[in-house]
Structure 1
Amino acid sequence: MDNREGIQPESMNPLPGSTPLNANGKPAEGLHEGLPPEPETGAEADAGFFSTSNLIMLGLLGALFAYLLYKFSFEELLNIVKAALGLSFVIFIHELGHFLAAKWCGVNVTTFSIGFGPPIPGCSFQWGETTYKLAILPLGGYVQMVGQIDGDEGADDDDDPRSYRKKTVGQRMLIISAGVIMNAILAVGCFIYVYQGPGKEYLSSAVYAIDSHGPLFEQAVHTGTLITKIGNIDNPTFTDLKQTVVFTRGKDKIPLVFQLPGKDPLAIEIESRKGKGDLMRAIGVKPASKPQLVSRRDAESGPWVPGTSAAAAGFEWDDVIVAMTDPENPERISALPDDPRFPKQGQRDYFEFARRLQLLAAQDITIRVQRKAGESIKEVDVKVAPMYRPKLGIVMHIGSILAVREGSAAHNKVKAPDPAKKLHGDLIDEVKVVPADDTIVAELKTVDPERLPHVLRQWSDRLDKTKFAGDRLVTLKLRRHADRPGAQFDNVEVTLKWDDAWRFDRVLPFSPSSPMPIPELGLAYEIRSIIAQVTDPSSKLEVGDVIKDLKFDEQGPTKDILGKWSGAEIEEGQWAFYSNVFQYPRNIKKLYVKVERSVQGKKEIVELEVPLTLDKSWPLTERGWWLANDMRRVKADNSWHAIQLGFAETRTSMMQVFFTLRGILTGDIDKKVIAGPLRIAYGTYRFASMDFAELVFFLGLISINLAVVNFLPIPILDGGHMVFLVYEKIRGQPASEAVRIWATYAGLAMILALMLFVLFGDVTWLFF
């Protein structure tokens, strides 16, 4: 099982804090992030530390600390501490920028706090005019200045020449923007450190799989190919591709160049798409894996799915696959060749590994791995049994053909009423093949849309074994929407040549709107969620039932994992996507479905348990292992190169945040991608569990996110303050007090609404 989606730090947008109001309904003094500070001196804070509210806070923190000690190991606790300190440091640097700029401009800074709340006893001191303290909640910090609120005529610091309000507009602009500037400097420093040191690993641009309803399928891109150019970017990474797609809108063209080993380069231009239910625009491609099991840090339970053949075989973390059963001689184990996409780098060819798995799907296989044994490496042969697809005992209705690959047998053979769409609307009624055998004739009596690609592939494989050298032809009897009055459909027959060059391409339904592909014919069709036939007499499902949702209980690492309803209603033509769930190895204990059923003329929703058996005629390609992503390390050649890479990464990250926010506003990106404090904390914890360089790089990304988001023109954020200062510079006087108070309330409402939204998203993501 490949390409587990990891944390995508590009989409994590930190939630800025909020500004409190004083008794006059005006924003309280102090530039800060996170929780509002209490204006207090060090002596007053120490005297009131043991107040009732503080004791309650101490009790809650103590209970949290005790829970962490009970729940986590020492190593996990250390990672939590590293994550907390890292996030605090990012926000501390932001406040340090405000502090240094204020001091440089001669503003009286009364408090500089690391953390919020009362100071820890003994961790507060006065140095000059400023109280420095380490507060009980280490979640950032704040700077408190005299007279921060511009134009507050009622303040008692009118005659103080060191008041923030007495400074020029330019000086106040510097103070306001200094936090963002420091965040940008921190990000550049983080990126330079990583590129100068160990370097940064990125997903390679090798194509593992493509979407059956995406532009790459339609433009005849093979899986196993390498993206060698994106626009003006040579030798790009998969991250470059994701960022390029995020930057696009509507009909924007993305120029790409693909290179398949041993073939001429393929240059195309495509448009990104956003289907119903998709979180963001995409081009329908997934990055490749490599023939190596994941490391311990990248999986939560094991390097395999519990209850699968891979779990029973005894694979271990970081096993490197170097050889396996030879399909041409199953009694022999042969080495996997080096990857031709990245020659002389010591990595085996994942796509040859995948090809052999498909050919040997129904057989026991032996996989030879290199495994660490202390300081040495040993080779171990692991025997792995086949796995089979669960059988639901039903046949679904086939839907219309939705996609055709350019240059394929189906291209220009099947024409829809609208020629520009090539195919939409044609329905497959019958399938015949030449040459036929008894097995294929029996299997094609009923067109099972889920099994059809597998049945045709098995037919072609049987012909391979007989050394058949002629054309392999597939005839489709179609119903086509008639374009003449009084007729609904025309019956049409088309004969397509089976193209085995696409036998090993991994074309999948990525999203609910994606159809079921047959790459060898160059087409893909819908599967309707309506039951056409019930083949299991013990099933409680009925013909005509419409499947609306499903869930399943499956074996977990220590106990069964109980399924939950997705909550997203399956629409009529979306069963291809949900059917694909059963193509991956998992030990499903029980399957439940919600169906819409007509009962005495009324439609009702009925929940049923569906009996499952294994379909021994349908072996799975995968056997339950988790394979590591194919990564490529980017490292600077020298210090100047590291500086160039650091600034380039900072610029790209800033643009990523900006275009993500733009996409959310335009609807190109779903609001669910915004990560709140819980997801950011979890992401930081995950990176803290990796090596130090990964954590540093991630903190650089968080710092850039904080800089961009904090400088948005929203009242109470730094960007909102800057808008009022620009207004004052142009008009020669500040905005009226009424306008500023109204803007503050509006800004507070926006931030509180955003906070509630992202917290709800975080809780849903973590617990549901």
Structure 2
Amino acid sequence: MNWLYIIEVVVGFGFLIAIHEAGHFMAARRAGIACPVFSVGFPLPRFLTKLLFLPDRWRNIVVFKKGGTEYRIGWIPFGGFVQMKGQNDDRTVELEENAGSRDDFRNVSFGNKALVICGGVIMNAITGIVFFVIAFMVFGVTFIDPVVGNVVGADPSTGKPTQAWLDNRIQAGDRIKAVNGKEVVDFEDVLYISIFDGTTPRMTFVKPDGTTYEADVPLYHEQRVNLDIPPLRASAAVLIADEEAKRSGGKLQARDVLKAINSVPVNSYEAIEYLLGQTPPGQTVKLTIERGSSDSKQTIEVDYEPHRLPFNDESGYVAGMAFVTPPVVGAVRNNSPAMKAGLQAGDHIRAVKLMTGEAIPGAESDGWRAVSSPAEVRRLLGMAGKFGLNVRFERPGMTREVVLTPEASNEAGGRYVANMTFMPAQEAWKHVGKPDSAGKLVVADVIAGSVAAKAGIVPGMTVTDVPGISAEQKVPSGFFGFLGLSSETKTLTIEQRLMLSVAERSIEGGKKWNEPLTLQIKTSEGEVKNVSIVPDVKSAESTAYMLLDAKELRSEPIHYGFLDSIGQGFYHSHKKMHQILQTLGGLFTGDVSITHLGGPVLIAKRSYDLADYGIGTLLFFLGFISINLAVVNLLPIPVLDGGLLLVTIIEKLKGSPLNERAMGYVNLAAFVAIIGLMLFVVFNDIRHLWG
């Protein structure tokens, strides 16, 4: 943890709130309003000074009086406050009776009242622009490179492939130049324009060779954020997580950037997962890592033996078993190896043969190996690699044999892919005319040397029960589910119970780590018996893994001259205001959920992360927060500046003040609502970070 970054964040964030109050203070002094107190920061709570036996004057660092105002610098650097005669933010205390004095806020002109009320907003807006200008002119600003890291394959809400994946035109490494004709310099621009323009985004891309093309990019529903977004992910660097560094025995450090495994470059978690999955038990891998900041960066190589899990959920096999599900092609990506081979949606793959001529375990004498599950096809494609497979498939009215030659994935280094999907089990069984077979766990294949094979499980057996795990399971639900405060009961299928049991035994250090798994099995002869599967990190089904984090790839710092920096300051201020208003509007229309709001915890976390990219990038982010404070404070909500401005306008039109007691109750209710929203947002921050 870099304490300098933390100090930068605390001071910067506190300054933005203090400058807001300074805006009110300066406007009030200009209007001749008495200001008994102006404080930068907050004093220590009185109970704390008493507990520490400190005199009351030690509640603040500095206190001095000048021109009728007591100036303070408090120990708590989060903001500040100004006391004005005739105005009171403490709604539990009534204001003194209006004596008609000119230095009372209630007695100044409408124009001066409006100026005082808007003083904080004006100062935040000016500060945002100034921060943007300084960031570009002095330090330089980095942005999230609008470069495609990968195209999302499936839409979780439907289970269907995304249109962008099917079209196969957008590739990893392509740079997004514009969205709907609007130039973008930041991946966040891509998201905002796509979400709020209300049309299917049309994007302009530039390939690494300089070729430019345009493509429509239909949105898909991302359940994790509950938004319709483009099915594109920005390029990201993969970092060593703190936990992995701690258990590496000093070989790795937290935030090391993983660049290659066994000399194969990696730029995604999928690539790392694949390469680690090829590592046999007891074997080390050569990690190429980048360590240090931009001014002290070094590349080193480390021989490292990763930890292992007893089961590999990503293989499509469960504890070494694949279950019978007709391998019916669901979709074929455009211009893919599967399309070039002549495969299309609805084709039922029945058998495969290695192009190398090598025998596949379980194959017939002619080399053909019958397959009865998508997992088998994927595994055999992995075995074939770049050499490919002969594929025999059925299509209504015909049986064909084709050559399927996978291509190297540009998203997962070292992996060869056919770029086709398979129908979900229920849909596949319906397609082959056996809908009643869906849900039955008939073993199709068992990996030699896996824990299932060691337990005596063979193809043809059926898993009929998972003793020891109830079909009725309580699962977290609702907003506070991650805290264990709300849950619902779900009835799980046998397959779901099996997957849950395997997952529980795949959490290293978890309660059921290394605990045997009991399955009820029915043999092909009809005998029912229990078998025990013992997790084994050295089995053929085990897989190597590492604990990793992701880090967005940002551009090199962008600098501008004096005049251009001023132009960029106003441009980005306008753009950020527009984005904030779009987000606020989305909250009212339902396009944006309240759960997307971030509060002080996420702001502090984001500030700390961005400080790693230099003072300019942190300053730019703080400028955005300052603009955010300006816009939000102008909302016509009691307690906020916009609410007070609305009351002032109403009083001007009415010709007399509103009832102070009634307004006190309104403000108190609004204050309670704002506090409730703040607590909600803090819980939301915690849920995002640790949920």
TM-score, normalized by the shorter chain, greater than 0.5: yes
Shifted more, 440-449 versus 195-204: the winner is: 440-449
Matched, 1:216 2:216: no
Q: How does 1:106-185 map to 2 (within 5 A)?
A: 106-117=32-43, 120=59, 123-148=62-87, 155-185=96-126
Cα distance between partner residues in 2 of 1:681 and 1:257:
34
Deviation at 1:92, TM superposition (A): 0.4
Corresponding residue SS for 2:221: coil
Matched, 1:236 2:156: no
Percent of residue pairs identical: 22
Deviation at 1:94, TM superposition (A): 0.3
Q: Is the 8 Å Cα contact of residues 223 and 506 (structure 1) preserved in structure 2?
A: no
Change (3 A) 1:441 1:476: farther
Deviation at 1:494, TM superposition (A): 8.3
| Partner of residue 197, structure 1 | 138
| Residue number among 694, 718, 728 corresponding to 2:641 in the alignment | 718
What amino acid sits opposite 1:283 in the alignment? P
| Partner of residue 96, structure 1 | 22
Cα distance between partner residues in 2 of 1:748 and 1:736:
18
Cα distance between partner residues in 2 of 1:377 and 1:737:
62
| Residue number among 416, 425, 439 corresponding to 2:360 in the alignment | 439
Change (3 A) 1:305 1:432: farther
| Residue number among 680, 684, 688 corresponding to 1:761 in the alignment | 684
| Partner of residue 674, structure 2 | 751
Change (3 A) 1:678 1:204: closer
| Partner of residue 159, structure 2 | none
Q: How does 1:75-90 map to 2 (within 5 A)?
A: 76=3, 79-90=5-16
Cα distance between partner residues in 1 of 2:670 and 2:296:
61
Matched, 1:520 2:418: yes
Change (3 A) 1:491 1:615: farther
Q: Is the 8 Å Cα contact of residues 549 and 567 (structure 1) preserved in structure 2?
A: yes
| Residue number among 503, 508, 515 corresponding to 1:588 in the alignment | 508
Cα distance between partner residues in 2 of 1:369 and 1:136:
42
Cα distance between partner residues in 2 of 1:177 and 1:378:
50
| Partner of residue 331, structure 1 | none
| Partner of residue 657, structure 1 | 580
| Partner of residue 53, structure 2 | none
What amino acid sits opposite 1:669 in the alignment? V
Q: Is the 8 Å Cα contact of residues 136 and 558 (structure 2) preserved in structure 1?
A: yes
Cα distance between partner residues in 2 of 1:611 and 1:360:
17
Cα distance between partner residues in 1 of 2:61 and 2:262:
68
Cα distance between partner residues in 1 of 2:21 and 2:361:
71
Cα offsets for 1:613-653 (capped at 9, x unmatched): 45647877x87676764321242231122222222222222
Q: Is the 8 Å Cα contact of residues 539 and 611 (structure 1) preserved in structure 2?
A: no
Deviation at 1:130, TM superposition (A): 1.7
Change (3 A) 1:396 1:182: farther
Shifted more, 262-271 versus 531-540: the winner is: 531-540
Q: Is the 8 Å Cα contact of residues 183 and 706 (structure 1) preserved in structure 2?
A: yes
Deviation at 1:90, TM superposition (A): 1.0
Cα distance between partner residues in 1 of 2:205 and 2:306:
34
Please list every run of 5 or more consecutive structure 1 residues that lacks an aligned counterpart in the other structure: 1-72, 328-335, 337-348, 416-422, 464-471, 479-489, 508-516, 552-562, 599-607
* RMSD of aligned Cα (Å): 5.3
What amino acid sits opposite 1:255 in the alignment? R
Deviation at 1:103, TM superposition (A): 1.2
What amino acid sits opposite 1:673 in the alignment? H
Cα distance between partner residues in 2 of 1:156 and 1:565:
48
Deviation at 1:155, TM superposition (A): 4.8
Cα offsets for 1:384-439 (capped at 9, x unmatched): 6688773441546759976554455569x999xxxxxxx7xx6x865433667642
| Partner of residue 269, structure 1 | 216
| Residue number among 214, 218, 230 corresponding to 1:283 in the alignment | 230
Deviation at 1:112, TM superposition (A): 1.1
| Residue number among 672, 676, 682 corresponding to 2:599 in the alignment | 676
Cα distance between partner residues in 1 of 2:672 and 2:297:
60
| Partner of residue 480, structure 2 | none
What amino acid sits opposite 2:381 in the alignment? L
Q: Is the 8 Å Cα contact of residues 261 and 287 (structure 2) preserved in structure 1?
A: yes
Change (3 A) 1:460 1:192: same
Q: Is the 8 Å Cα contact of residues 101 and 174 (structure 1) preserved in structure 2?
A: yes
Deviation at 1:91, TM superposition (A): 0.6
| Residue number among 91, 105, 127 corresponding to 2:31 in the alignment | 105
Greater RCO, 1 or 2 (C-alpha within 8 Å, sep 6+): 1
Change (3 A) 1:101 1:388: same
TM-score (norm 1): 0.63
Matched, 1:500 2:406: yes
Cα distance between partner residues in 1 of 2:185 and 2:546:
31
Q: Is the 8 Å Cα contact of residues 396 and 527 (structure 1) preserved in structure 2?
A: no
Cα distance between partner residues in 2 of 1:680 and 1:539:
54
Cα offsets for 1:220-255 (capped at 9, x unmatched): 122233323333344633232233234344xx2211
Change (3 A) 1:212 1:675: same
Q: How many residues are matched?
A: 593
| Partner of residue 535, structure 2 | 611
Q: Is the 8 Å Cα contact of residues 88 and 140 (structure 1) preserved in structure 2?
A: yes
Cα offsets for 1:159-187 (capped at 9, x unmatched): 11222112222221221111111111111
Corresponding residue SS for 1:714: coil
Q: How does 1:325-474 map to 2 (within 5 A)?
A: 361=278, 366=286, 381-383=301-303, 390-391=311-312, 392-393=318-319, 394-395=321-322, 405-406=333-334, 430-433=349-352, 438-439=359-360, 442=363, 445=370, 447-450=372-375, 452-463=377-388, 474=391
Change (3 A) 1:674 1:115: same
Cα distance between partner residues in 2 of 1:638 and 1:448:
62
What amino acid sits opposite 1:223 in the alignment? A
Change (3 A) 1:325 1:135: closer
Matched, 1:186 2:186: no
What amino acid sits opposite 1:175 in the alignment? V
What amino acid sits opposite 1:273 in the alignment? Y
Deviation at 1:727, TM superposition (A): 3.0
Cα distance between partner residues in 1 of 2:245 and 2:423:
30
Q: Is the 8 Å Cα contact of residues 150 and 232 (structure 2) preserved in structure 1?
A: yes
Cα distance between partner residues in 2 of 1:493 and 1:727:
80
What amino acid sits opposite 2:625 in the alignment? I
Cα distance between partner residues in 2 of 1:323 and 1:277:
29
| Residue number among 441, 452, 455 corresponding to 1:532 in the alignment | 441
Q: How does 1:31-46 map to 2 (within 5 A)?
A: none
What amino acid sits opposite 1:461 in the alignment? K
Cα distance between partner residues in 2 of 1:538 and 1:155:
84
Deviation at 1:194, TM superposition (A): 1.6
Change (3 A) 1:448 1:286: same
Q: Is the 8 Å Cα contact of residues 116 and 138 (structure 1) preserved in structure 2?
A: yes
Change (3 A) 1:102 1:693: same
Deviation at 1:288, TM superposition (A): 1.9
Cα distance between partner residues in 2 of 1:697 and 1:718:
24
Cα distance between partner residues in 2 of 1:227 and 1:631:
14
Cα distance between partner residues in 2 of 1:610 and 1:107:
78
Please list every run of 5 or more consecutive structure 2 residues that lacks an aligned counterpart in the other structure: 47-56, 155-161, 313-317, 427-437, 447-451, 477-482, 521-531
Q: Is the 8 Å Cα contact of residues 432 and 474 (structure 1) preserved in structure 2?
A: yes
Q: Is the 8 Å Cα contact of residues 146 and 163 (structure 1) preserved in structure 2?
A: yes
Cα distance between partner residues in 2 of 1:579 and 1:207:
33
What amino acid sits opposite 2:386 in the alignment? D
